[in-house]
Amino acid sequence: MSRKVKVALGQITSRIGDVEHNVKKAVEFIGQAANKGADIICLPELFATGYNLNILEDKVISLSREHVQFISDKMSKGAKDNNIYVIACFGEVKETDNKVYNAAVLYDRSGDKLGSFHKTHGFGLEKKYFAEGWQYPVFNTTIGKVGILICYDAGFPEAARTLCLKGAEIIFIPAAWKVQDENSWLLNVPSRALENQLYTIGVNRSGHEGDLDLFGKSMVCNPYGEVIMQMDYDADEVAVCEIDLDEVEKCRCGGGYLEDRRPNIYQL
């Protein structure tokens, strides 16, 4: 039986610091994705608060703490009302240490929170404001085994390989990637798919926050590292792409990087 999944990429242009506006827009995007038949939608990095930490500074933490429950409740309700999986990226407060993490939270079709991934590689000022995660969970869902990396994490092959070896068939990469580093975005997302013989779904923010240009170009890459769908520069919309997870097994059965690994000789 074919394991076809429709993935939605919510390439949002957010208003910096305007959480209520951004969350309302995200809920609209969730509805649009469901209307297009999507099984899951991924929203980009820090869509609710905005990303430019040179502008937000400490406000990114105060906004995250103040609105974390509001954001989570709206994302949960959006998932439940539309019978769709949702990956939403926002500042999450961890109960065990009361620190704020740059997080991607996965909700199932019933609106239940399946878990969170906390960004493991802080970029620039992120290290000042957010705690860094240290785990790479893989979520078993009815549509497949899902892993998540956030933005800069995609530049570290070890992170994606860890998810792959833990069984991931799809890696979602919500991001706020700036135009100056566009070339690394165009290289990293397909490379992580090729190396690990799985699908990567890169969902980048669009729009401008002061001098920060977030260029979009969200994409879907198949297990052969081919870009099978890419959104336009600065598009502020939802795009849906159908993937077939049978291609993961088919690709891996044909040999290649995973089969020919020699971990006994690698020195890390």
Q: How far is CA 266 from CA 7, 134, 135, 139, 263, in A?
A: 35, 22, 22, 28, 5
Query: Residue 173 contacts by C-beta under 8 Å, 6 or more apart in sequence?
Result: 148, 149, 150, 151, 153, 154, 189, 192, 200, 201, 202, 203
**Matching residue, tokens 């990293």:** 188
* Residue found under tokens 């991931």: 168
How many other β-carbons are positioned within 10 Å of the β-carbon of residue 152?
24
What residues are labeled active site? 45, 119, 151
Rounded CA-CA distance 163/169 in Å is 9
